[in-house]
């Protein structure tokens, strides 16, 4: 079960601050899990936003603006669960006066992967003919009787703003749209 976040390279920006820097992207999302985190639009939405960071150990709470992620990872490590690669925080943002409902994903990629992604984005930023996709694991919500800090229930996610923590290898893929003259073939 996975979540796919897809975007065009002309829809990205880079934000720099004193405490953190990240790529920010308006994108679409698709979830393969039946318990998808998009309430009114089904498994797919064009209303998603993703931020991509370089992962820094023991700084995820501040980088991704969420409580307890560093502590959750420490707990998983104590339980021998591998969590040295990529990590994400998935959030639901209800509709407001300023914008409609959307899904937010903050992704912290391992340093080698982030460096490779950033090099590609810097070289091709602004190109509307290039698409990218970030794929991460998604295993659905907790049941109400066994909710954990890392995996909220559906109600906790939608109504109480509880984030969903995701660890494991995230895949980043880039591709080019075919030009209409290339699709027609040789004449």
Task: Determine contact, residues 67/51, Cβ cutoff 8 Å.
Answer: no
Give 79 or 177, the one with higher predicted confidence: 79
Count of domains observed in the chain: 1
Going by pLDDT thresholds of 50, 70 and 90, the confidence category of residue 182 is very low
186 belongs to a structural domain: no
11 belongs to a structural domain: yes
* Residue 34 pLDDT exceeds 80: no
CA angle 82, 85, 91 (to 5 degrees): 100
Average pLDDT along the chain: 84
33 belongs to a structural domain: yes
For residue 9, count other CB atoms closer than 10 A to its CB.
Answer: 20
137 belongs to a structural domain: yes
Confidence (pLDDT) at 40: 43
Confidence (pLDDT) at 132: 94
* Domain ranges, residue 129: 2-177
pTM of the model: 0.83
For residue 10, count other CB atoms closer than 10 A to its CB.
Answer: 12
Radius of gyration from C-alpha coordinates of the chain: 17
Tell me the mean pLDDT in the region 133-158. Answer: 83
187 belongs to a structural domain: no
* Residue 181 pLDDT exceeds 50: no
CA 144 and chain centroid, separation: 25
12 belongs to a structural domain: yes
159 belongs to a structural domain: yes
What percent of the chain shows pLDDT beyond 90?
36
Confidence (pLDDT) at 43: 62
Give 104 or 42, the one with higher predicted confidence: 104
Cα distance between residue 9 and residue 120, in whole Å: 10
123 belongs to a structural domain: yes
């Amino acid at each position: 079960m996975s979540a796919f976040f897809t975007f065009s390279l002309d829809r990205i920006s880079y934000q720099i601050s004193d405490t953190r820097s990240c790529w920010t992207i308006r994108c679409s999302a698709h979830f393969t899990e039946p318990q998808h985190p998009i309430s009114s639009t089904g498994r797919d939405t064009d209303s998603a936003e993703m931020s991509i960071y370089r992962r820094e150990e023991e700084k995820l709470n501040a980088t991704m603006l969420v409580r307890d992620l560093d502590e959750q990872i420490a707990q998983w490590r104590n339980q021998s669960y591998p969590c040295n690669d990529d990590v994400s925080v998935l959030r639901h943002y209800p509709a407001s006066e300023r914008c409609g409902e959307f899904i937010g994903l903050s992704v912290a990629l391992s340093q080698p992967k982030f460096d490779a992604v950033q090099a590609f984005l810097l070289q091709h930023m602004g190109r509307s003919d290039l698409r990218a996709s970030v794929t991460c694991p998604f295993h659905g919500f907790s049941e109400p009787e066994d909710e954990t800090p890392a995996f909220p229930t559906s109600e906790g996610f939608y109504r109480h703003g509880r984030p969903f923590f995701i660890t494991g290898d995230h895949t980043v893929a880039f591709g080019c749209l075919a030009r209409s003259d290339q699709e027609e073939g040789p004449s």
